[in-house]
Amino acid sequence: MTGLTAQRGLFTGPAPIVSKDLYAEVHTGAAVRDRDAIRLEPGTKVSGNTYFGRFPASYWQRWSTVTEVSVEAVVTGTGLLSLGASDVEGEPRVVEAEQVANAKQAKVTLTAKLDKFYDGGALWLDLETEGGQTLRVEQVRWTVEAPEKIRPTAVTICTMNRADDCLKNLQALAADVSSLETLDAIYVADQGTDLVESRDGFEQVAKDLGDKLHYIKQPNLGGAGGFTRGLYEVAGHTATEHANVLFMDDDVLLEPDLVIRMTAFSNRAANPIIVGGQMLNLFHPNQLHVGAEYARLNTLEPGQPVEHSLTTADLLGVDEETLKPNRQERRLDAGYNGWWSCLIPYEVVQATGYPMPFFFQWDDAEYSYRARAHGFPTVTLPGAGVWHADFHMKDWDEWHRYFNLRNSIITAALHSPFNLNLLSRVLLAQLVRYLLGMQYGLSATLIKAVEDFLEGPEILRDGGVEAMQEIRRIRDQYPETKRHKATDVPGIASNDIGIINSAPPPSRTAVVLIKRLLDQTRGRHRYGLGAVPADEAHWWHTSLFGTVVVTDANQDGVRVRSYDRAKTLDLAKRGIRVIQRLRKEGAAVQERYLSAVPELTSRENWTRLYGL
C-alpha cells in the first residue's frame, strides 16, 4: 500500500450490537462479512455506500490540498469492483471500474479525482459477482498523497469512575494498534476514586500499548481539566509543532478507524482546523445524533442542527420526504463539535490558548468559537463516528445543569453580542417554566448559575471544584431532585399513581401561562395526584397537579414534584432580583471575563490547577 491511509474499508463494526449494514450492504445474493475482509458468493451485489463505507469526498475537496484519492484492495477470485460517487442530491454515478478474473491475492487500485464534490457527495466501493463467480476482497484502503511529514495524533481520554468503560476503549485501541500507524500516544487522565489501573485487564493493556500509554492520576477538574491535560502534556514535548491531540470520552463505543480518518484529514488540511467526529446513539446504534451543529449563543441554546443536517436519523432508513437513503450528501459547516471525539492541532493551541477551566459543559463550544475568532474553523467529518449514550435519555434536572447555565452565559459574554435584554427574557422564561413545573431545585440551580456568573472570572479560579460541591449541597435541600423507584415512592402508595396524559401544546401560550400562575397561587389544582411520562412533562401539564410523579428521561426511576407556595414565591423573588442584576451589571462583568481570558486559558493557570 502506498500513500497516506485516509480510511480503511471495513465490513463489520467493533461490537456485535453494531449492524454490519453500517459498513457494507448486501443488496442481492449472499456474502460473509468480516472486519477486514468480505467474501461474495455467486450472484451477489455489495455496496459500500454506507455510513462507514463512504469516503467524504466533498469535505476533502473543500478543506484539503488533495486532488485525488485511490481505493486499494487485495482480491482473490472473479468479479467486478467499481468506484461509485454521488453528488449533492445523492444521485449515483460510476467513476471507475475493474473486472478481475481468477485473481490470487492481486492488488486492485481505483482512482477518482476530487473535483466534482464541492457542495456535496461521496465516494464508495461496490462489489459484484455473477453466476458461478466468487470473490474475496480484503485489506481495503483509501489512500491520498502523503505530506512531507506526517503529524501523529495523541489520544486523550478523560475518565472518572468509569474504569470498565475506559479499559474497554484502551483494549480496543490496543487490539488495532498495528493498523493505527499515526497513533503516537494515549493519555488517560484518571480523576476518579475507582481507578482504571485497579482493573484486572489494565496490566495487559499497558503491556500491549507499551510506551504509547501515559496514565495520569489527578484531582477531579471535570471534563475540561481531563481533556486539557492531554493538550498540556503534548505541548511539553519538543516535537509539538507536528502533533494533533484527539479528545475522546471514556464511555463511548469506539470505532478505532476514526483515529486514522481524523488524523489523515488533519494532515492534509490546507490550513490547521479543528476536526470533529460525529456521534451515533449508543442505545440506538443505527442513529446519527446530528450531522453538524452550532450554538445560539445569546439565547443559550447549544446543539442546534445546521441547515440540511441529519438529526436523530436512522442511517439504515430513508428520508420521509425524499424517500432517499439517509446519507449526508451535502457538505455542512459546523459551529463546534462535541468532545466525544474532537481533534485539535497544536497550532490552534498556540494561537488560541488552552480550554477555559469550566469544569465541564460548554467547554467544547467555547473553545471552537474562540478558535474560529483566531482563524481556525471546526469541521465535523462524516464517517468518523463513535457511539455515545443518547442525549435525549439524560435527565435535564441534575446538578450539572448549573455548569450548563453558568458556562453558557460566560460563553455568550465572550463570543456573542451579549444582548442583556434578550438574555434576561430567556432566563426569566426558563425560571417561570421551572417554577410552574414545581422544579424548585432546578430553579435554585438557575439562580445560583446567574449569581456565580456575576461573581466574575474569580469563580473559575479553582476549576469548578467548589461550585460542584456547593450546587450539590443546594439541590439536596429540594426533595423533587431525588430519584425513586416507581414502586417505592415515599408517602405515596404505588397503586395510587396512575398516568394522566398531556394535552397538546397550548395555542395561546401567554394566556395559559398566566392562568396556570393564578391557579397555582390560589391553590387550585385540577389533579391532586398523577403520573406523567418523561416526554409529556411540559410545564402546562405538570402545573395542573398538586403532586405529580414524573418519569426521569433516563427511565431509571421517577421524581415527585409537589406544589409549595412558599418555595415558589421565595424562588421567584430571588430569581427576578438576580436577573435584574444581570441586566444592570452584565456589561461590566462581561468586560472582566474578556480581560481574564488570556490568564484563564494560559499554560501557567493549568499548571497551577494541576498542582505541578
User: Which residues are annotated as catalytic?
Assistant: 364
Q: Angle between the 565-600 and 440-455 helix axes, to the nearest 10 degrees?
A: 30
CB 253 within 8 A of CB 172: no
- 28: buried, middle or exposed (CB in 10 Å: 19+, 13-18, 0-12)? exposed
Would you call 128 exposed, middle or buried from its count of C-beta atoms within 10 A (0-12, 13-18, 19+)? buried
Burial readout 524-551 (b: 16 or more C-beta within 10 A, e: otherwise)? ebeeebbbbebebbbbbbbbbbbbbbbb
* Cα distances (angstroms) measured from residue 391 to each of 191, 502, 556: 23, 23, 15
Sequence-ordered alpha helix ranges (H) in 85-221 = 163-175, 202-209
Q: Do residues 151 and 243 lie in contact, with contact meaning Cβ atoms separated by under 8 Å?
A: yes
For residue 588, the SS3 value is helix
Query: C-alpha angle 415/416/421, rounded to 5°?
Result: 145
CA distances from 267 to 151, 154, 382 (A): 6, 13, 17
Measure Cα distances from 563 to 329, 521, 543, 593 in Å: 50, 10, 8, 38
Which DSSP state fits 485?
-
Q: What whole-number distance in Å separates Cα of residue 336 and Cα of residue 295?
A: 8
Cβ pair 414, 594 in contact under 8 A: yes
Q: Give the residue ranges of DSSP H helices in 86-220.
A: 163-175, 202-209
Is 357:600 a contact under the CB 8 Å cutoff? Answer: yes
Q: Which residues contact 331 (CB under 8 A, 6 or more apart)?
A: 58, 59, 62, 88, 117, 118, 119, 120
User: What one-character-per-residue DSSP string does 489-549 give?
Assistant: -TTS-GGG--B-PPPPPPSSHHHHHHHHHHHHHTT--SEEEEEE-GGG--HHHHTTEEEEE
Contacts 24+ apart (CB under 8 A), 168-175: 168/254, 169/248, 169/250, 169/252, 169/254, 170/196, 170/202, 170/205, 170/209, 170/213, 171/201, 171/205, 172/14, 172/254, 172/256, 173/209, 173/254, 173/256, 173/259, 174/205, 174/208, 174/209, 175/208, 175/256
Residue 404 · residue 364 · CB < 8 Å: no
Three-class SS state of 116: coil
